[in-house]
Amino acid sequence: MSLQGRHILVVEDEPKLAALMHDYLVASGARVDVLGHGDDALPLLRNAPPDLLVLDLMLPGTDGFTICRELRTFSTLPVIMVTARVEEIDRLLGLEIGADDYLCKPFSPRELVARVKALLRRSQEWAGIREESGNGPLALDEERFEARWHGRLLDLTAVEFRLLKALAARPGRVLSRGQLQQQLYNDHRIVSDRTVDSHVKNLRRKLAEADPEADPIRSIYGVGYKYEP
């Protein structure tokens, strides 16, 4: 996969690192903008959103936490967070901040390019969902993080939204708990099967609240789940 035609925004205040990231991403075909000050990020993200954001945590002005948290109120744009603080990772990827992946400093620019490609591939799979489910009962609005069932708004958490997206992207196909975990978290964290099960349970309950007839998620004993509207 080349990054041809992809627009990536890098927010990083260390000039040498920013230049290195810029050069490697450009060499892979991407169009890359670099910002060195946190205050410039949100206006640009609102007015000219890129395809993916690489965001340093510690920045002059608005820090990476605040930028990502604010971004998530209006966009599901893929975000890779860059940090030297390993202890912050859970918080970065959790609901509070909502980054999709992270890189720990120091990292190799090759690793950055690989992560960018992987995350874009994953987002692309998700983007196909809206088209496929265009005439079905389910409508997903990724910009607003909203799911509707027959027009009725479902009150989902970010993880439940991603889970529903992952299942609905492949109607009729069984996805294992492991595959669903990969869709939900990209960070190789150990998440137990029961975590997926409990998210599915909550998702089903919310669908049933919106429409008692709605039961589009089937469990396949010993394997996983599938979406069948």
Q: How many residues bind Ca ion (CB under 5 A)?
A: 3
CB of 156 to Ca ion, least distance (A): 33
Tell me whether residue 56 or residue 160 sits nearer to Ca ion (CB atom): 56
* Residue 36 phi, psi dihedral angles, 5° rounding: -105, -5
Query: Do 76 and 85 contact (CB within 8 A), yes or no?
Result: no
Tell me whether residue 17 or residue 174 sits nearer to Ca ion (CB atom): 17
The answer, yes or no, to whether the previous bond of 106 is cis (omega within 30 of 0) is: yes
160 binding Ca ion? (CB under 5 A)? no
Query: Do 85 and 79 contact (CB within 8 A), yes or no?
Result: no
For 69, the token pair is: 């948290």
67 binding Ca ion? (CB under 5 A)? no
CB of 58 to Ca ion, least distance (A): 4
Residue 208, CB half-sphere, CA atoms under 13 Å: how many?
8
Residue nearest to Ca ion (CB): 58
**Dist CA 103 CA 46 (whole Å):** 24
Interacting residue with Ca ion among 13, 63, 146, 211 (CB under 5 A): 13
Interacting residue with Ca ion among 51, 56, 101, 160 (CB under 5 A): 56
**Which residue ranges make up the site for Ca ion (CB under 5 A)?**
13, 56, 58
